[in-house]
Structure 1
Amino acid sequence: MEKITSKNNTIVKDTKKLFTSSKARYENHLFALEGARLCFDVLNSVYEPDTLLFTEDIYARYQDEIDALSIKAKRTFLIDGQVSEKLSETKSPQGVFLTVKMKDNGEMFACGKIVALDNVQDPANVGAIIRSAEALGIDGVVTYNCCDVFNSKAVRASMGSILRMNIIDSDNLEQTLIHMKSQGFKVYSTVPSSSAVKITDADFTGNAVSVIGNEANGVEENIKAVSDDLITIPMLGRAESLNAGVAAAITMWEMLR
């Protein structure tokens, strides 16, 4: 097994770019993971590991898991502490990193309870929403003009749910929703308006998709126009709106209860 000790090694530089650059991720059709939990989650996902890098210290703690990843990965490298610090996106690196092949978009959902993200830009929000979606039992997530779901902050916020949830990226959310309506879905857009239907009164029986809007501007007008209903989360306090991640979690809970 080759050992990498130089922070200027090409493999190290290329891996670091996958953490920091969306352009690099999509040009190479790869994304990067850091830490034992996220890297080992790949073993129980449909994703294919590409390059594994790890320190002697992490190998001593997780020999079985790293051996299992080594068998599946195309390339495996032992790295030292300096290289680990170079690659890390955290203050206390665990010493294991993995590049993973992206999946192509699957077929659009034919049924179920779906959440759609319209221009959600904060990676922490996107990751938290995907994590909540998996935890609550949502069938899939549609993203449109959002931050890159493979952004390292989004991946960490999802706690690995990005590897397990069915996520489809739409290049035209309005047309995607129109198609879903033709397949029997009801479309709901969340808005901070007292004139909208209270979320507790909305009928989520059958196939349904709820749209969560941009943190500052909400759901786009053309998306509202194709929605069956505008729904709102009643608030008794003085705040005018909720964080997108919180609003999404409440909406998904109501969709499934």
Structure 2
Amino acid sequence: MPESDLDLLLRAARAAAEVATTFIGGDLDVREKEGDQGPVTAADIAVNEVLEDTLRTARPAYGWLSEESPHDPLRLTSPSTFIIDPIDGTRSFIDGSDTWAHSLAIAEAGEITAAVVYLPMRDKLYAAEKGGGAELNGSAIRTTSRAEIAGAQFLATKPNIDPKHWPEGVPPFHRSHRPSLAYRMCLVADGSFDGMLTFRDAWEWDIAAGTLIVAEAGGRATDRAGQEMRFNLPSALQNGVVAGGPAMWDSTMAALGHGPSV
């Protein structure tokens, strides 16, 4: 029986973890990317190589979009495209934290159809397939059903609670943070948090997998204006992210001045 796209992503994520963990405690050869794009390490490059080899060998017709690869214009005309962040949370990896993740997704005609986010140091493997639900380590997950934003548990960085973003005042939610954007989305998907948001432009490789995982867990993940996201764009950028259970997403959109539903 042919290997499904999701099974392929799962196999690749495990291979990525085997490579990444060999760098822990060693020389990471940390460098800063051009254009204030953050650090990159030897681990990022090595993981990217094993992912590209594993995935493109299995699906040579698929396009390729990765944080650590040169732009490949062929992805824009490919029917399906891999969208990959070899190590989401590179700074955490450098610091010896356990909150970095491998984020892998497949986009077909602008929609994410399969997704995996793997945190090997926390033994957390999130997976989703379009129409097939979302899982954490093989068990089904769901977003919370909470609607009241006051007192809700949110993942957001401090700049996102600037009053300029909230026309009727910043809601009194409880704010926490995790470095990996993909992990933040998964923590909403598994019900650990009620919602997450970031108003900065977001690279597709940071959010593609999380978007499907949230949706298949019963939630919503859109851009900051409440618009459904299409992936594999020429810019590879999205207009921020707001994610939560359906009721919390509605409440968040209302607080942002976009009405109860968009």
TM bucket normalised to smaller? under 0.3
Higher helix share: 1
Which of 1 and 2 has greater Rg? 1
Give me the TM-score of the superposition, normalised by structure 1.
Answer: 0.26
Q: Which has the higher contact order (CA 8 A, sep 6+)?
A: 1
- TM-score if structure 2 supplies the norm length? 0.26
